Amino acid sequence: MPGKRVLLDKRNSHKRNPIIFILFLSLVTPGLVLLCFELGLRLLNIDVDAVKDKNVQIVLPLWLISDEKWIDFNKGKIQEEEGIPADTVEWLLNFEEARYYLYKMKPNMDTRIVNYFNQLERERGISFEVKSNSQGFRSREYKRKKDENVFRVVALGDSSTFGWGVDTEYMFTSVLEDRLNEVESGLDYEVLNFGMPGYSSEHGLEVFKHVVDGLEPDLVLVSFGANDCRFTHQTHRELMAREETWIGAARHFLRYFKTYKFMRKLILKIHDPLNPSRLEQRPAVMSSSTRAVPPSDFQGNLEFFLSESRQLGAQVIFMSVCSPPEYIEVVEQVAQKAQVPFINIHELLFSHYDRIKGKEIYRAMVEYYERLYGHEKMAERESLYITVDGCHPNMIGHSLIAETVLAAMIELDLIPASP
């Protein structure tokens, strides 16, 4: 009967409503709690993206703790009572996690960093200026799509490309851009720097795929090898592969929430990766290590840069700084086979060494470093005439690199020869 059916429907709806209400509460209530917790963390401005151990004298960024090689390298210092000096790692706080290429600088930074590789500069508190753009790279700002009259150079590399130890205006990318814009060609020249301390060619590969690919470069400068040869517990390719999965996507999404970072920090406090007792149980680094980027993979990466750049209509120049002979040889072979320029920075700097020391060239810069370090210290460490720490080029080194790239561009007919 119609009347009874309506009555039964009403009774069934009363039975269903409590179930729906319970489901609603079970789903919405935790969300509201998390939302309130998230708002509280943000309002109180609590630092949640760091971990601090009693034997580390600074709060470390979490992405560094996941670097097995860093922990092994600093194992002895961490176990000592004085721990790791803050001035050797505090510069890392200017960097943050990033999807695909693992980390980059925090956007829009304007800071100064002490070169902890140089004892003289560390003792005297001498620092160099570092600025990042809105994308988190030590580069000028740029439009995604370049203007018609723009010639765009892209530099990929590690800390030497980044310009470790020198102010922004003395980075070879900055010097090169200034020199290029002195050329009367009717073009505006942009030199974009995507170098980053610690980057290997695997990092560069991801930066190329996810950043450079849409920038319409005319010339790509590639300088890797110094970090590719490092020993790690896991290859950089394996590390990057995780970032391409849904796990990498989820982790990247959750990084925007302080609640997630706070919970992660609590877990690390309980399961401290820097606890001396845990460090004693770690295997010796060399016995369980592999190259960060094995030579065969390194060669494949260089060939990728070459082929992909050419598909974009860009020329390529290979460079090598502070790399072991085995990796320099790989770069040299790839460059020779492809008939593209290769600049061995180590050879370049030392080929000009006598003229630099004799103040035949770059006199003002040489005198600056002599005043900075003192003639006695310069005599003890002659590499300070061309590097800031025995590896990374100094202002003179960066100027030489810029001039050499400029000459290579003339050879490639990318720019007219200037008087």
How far is Cα 370 from Cα 384, in angstroms, rounded to an integer?
Answer: 9
CATH superfamily of 150-230+292-411: SGNH hydrolase (3.40.50.1110)
Q: Which residues contact 192 (CB under 8 A, 6 or more apart)?
A: 137, 139, 140, 142, 152, 153, 154, 155, 173, 215, 217
Band of pLDDT at residue 104, cut at 50, 70 and 90: very high
pLDDT at 7 over 50: no
Encoded amino acid at 4, one letter: K
pLDDT at 299 over 90: yes
Q: Which residues contact 103 (CB under 8 A, 6 or more apart)?
A: 63, 95, 96, 97, 196, 198
Average pLDDT over the chain reads 86
Question: In DSSP terms, which residues pair with 154 in a beta bridge?
Answer: 192, 220
Which run of H or of E encompasses 162? helix 159-162
pLDDT at 332 over 50: yes
Least confident range from 160-164, 264-268, 337-341: namely 264-268
Domain boundaries, the chain: 150-230+292-411
The b/e string for 123-158 (b: 16+ C-beta within 10 A; e otherwise) is eeebbbebebbebbbbbeebeeebeeeebbbbbbbb
Band of pLDDT at residue 189, cut at 50, 70 and 90: very high
Query: Tokens 């170098």 sit at which residue?
Result: 195
What is the crossing angle of helices 258-270 and 2-44, to 10°?
Answer: 70
Q: 297 vs 251, which has greater pLDDT?
A: 297
Q: What is the pTM of this model?
A: 0.86
* Residue-wise pLDDT tens digits, 30-71: 777 777 877 887 888 877 766 666 667 777 776 677 676 677
Q: Which residues contact 256 (CB under 8 A, 6 or more apart)?
A: none
Determine the distance from the C-alpha atom of residue 20 to the mean position of all C-alpha atoms in its chain, rounded to a whole number. 50
Contact 388, 118 (CB under 8 A): yes
Least confident range from 85-89, 128-132, 409-413: namely 85-89
For residue 128, give both structure tokens.
Answer: 């160099």
At residue 8, the pLDDT reads 46
At residue 357, the pLDDT reads 94
How far is Cα 241 from Cα 152, in angstroms, rounded to an integer?
Answer: 30
- Region 141-145: mean pLDDT is 92
* Residue-wise pLDDT tens digits, 202-253: 999 999 999 999 899 999 999 999 999 988 878 899 988 888 888 778 877 8
How far is Cα 366 from Cα 356, in angstroms, rounded to an integer?
Answer: 7
pLDDT at 269 over 80: no
pLDDT at 91 over 90: no
pLDDT at 286 over 70: no
For residue 51, give both structure tokens.
Answer: 């971990």
